[in-house]
Amino acid sequence: MSEKLNEEFIFQILSIVEEIPEGYVATYGQIAKLSGYDKNARLVGKVLSLSGYYGKYPCHRVVNSSGRCAPYWLEQKDLLMDEGVTLKSNGCVDLKKHQWRLND
C-alpha cells in the first residue's frame, strides 16, 4: 500500500468502527470485509491499536471471530458490559446476540 492508501485505509477502518452502535460488536474480519480488504483482519487490529493517534473511536466494540476480547486490554470487557453486551461463561461476547449487522 502506498502511504496515501495507508492513510485512506486507516480512516476507512476507523469510520466503519465509528458506525458500530452501542450494545453491539463487530469482528476484525467483518471490518476487513466491509473495507474491501477481506484478508486483512490482522491489519484492522493494528489500525485499531493505533487509533488513539487519530481521535476517539469505540474500538472496544471490536472482537475476534470467536467473540474474544483483546487479551491485554483489561478494560474492554467492562466497557462492553457497561453498554449492555453480555458475555458467555468463557468470557467471550455472545455474538449471536450482539454482533452488529448493517441493518441493525
Q: Is residue 104 part of a domain?
A: no
What is the structure's pLDDT at 93?
98
Task: Identify the band that residue 76 occupies on the pLDDT scale cut at 50, 70 and 90.
Answer: very high
Whole-prediction pTM: 0.90
Q: Does residue 103 lie within any of the structural domains?
A: no
Q: Which domain holds residue 37?
A: 3-98
Is residue 12 a part of any domain in this protein? yes
Known catalytic residues? 59
Q: Identify the pLDDT of residue 91.
A: 94
**Got the DSSP string for the chain?**
--HHHHHHHHHHHHHHHHHSPTT-BEEHHHHHHHHT-TT-HHHHHHHHHTGGGT----GGGEE-TT-PPPTT-THHHHHHHHTT--B-TTS-B-HHHHB--TT-
pLDDT (0 to 100) of residue 27: 98
Q: CATH code at 26?
A: 1.10.10.10
